[in-house]
Amino acid sequence: METHDKILLAGELLVDAAKTYRAGETNIDFAKSILLAGAVIGIVAPWLEELGGKPSQTQLAGMAANLKGVPLTNLPLNEQQKEIGKSIAFYRLTYNSLKHAGRGEKTKPSDDRFFEANLKEEAYYLIGNAIDDYNKLPLSRQTINTKLSDDLLTLLQSHWAAL
């Protein structure tokens, strides 16, 4: 059995998400990109938070709260987290819709079969969030120089664009 570095695996998942998106012609291609990029965020974001950083979706959620006129700094911590959680749930709606059917008491799986989304647009934004988060990782110079693929380095160093 091998030991795997989830951060390195996430980097290659990110490359695959971007390649699949760029070559994408069907909703299946864009759904794959969403699932891959969402997995990257699921790996990278908790590590960023543990290190005291803010994942891109958390930053967007804070901006959304400010735009709504909700002063997060004046709220108790549990209310801040609740408000940010609402926005993050919105940003991850398509990813979560693809990933699973409802298992909770609120939604039956049979009621969670269909959803509306522009998969191409959602994939684009989710890949962008994943790139932003990956770029925030405090990777050593040695890791960057010896472990990250050329494709990943190119993706991380270029402005994310579909083409």
Digit-coded pLDDT (tens) for 93-150: 898 888 876 556 677 777 888 899 999 999 999 999 999 999 999 999 999 999 999 9
Mean of per-residue pLDDT scores for the chain: 89
Tokens encoding 53: 């950083």
Domain with 57, as residue range(s), is: 6-157
Q: What is the DSSP letter of 136?
A: T
Specify whether the CB–CB gap between 83 and 65 falls below 8 A. Answer: yes
Q: Is residue 90 part of a domain?
A: yes
Tokens encoding 44: 């990278």
Q: Is residue 162 part of a domain?
A: no
Work out the number of other CB atoms within 10 angstroms of the CB of residue 72. Answer: 15
Range in 14-18, 67-71, 145-149 with the lowest mean pLDDT: 67-71
Number of domains within the chain: 1
Q: Which of 47, 15, 45 is nearest to 33 (CA)?
A: 15
- Residue 73 — pLDDT band, cuts 50, 70, 90? confident
Q: Is residue 45 part of a domain?
A: yes
- Residues 6+ away with beta carbon under 8 Å from 30: 21, 24, 119, 120, 122, 123
Over pLDDT 70: what percentage of the chain?
Answer: 94
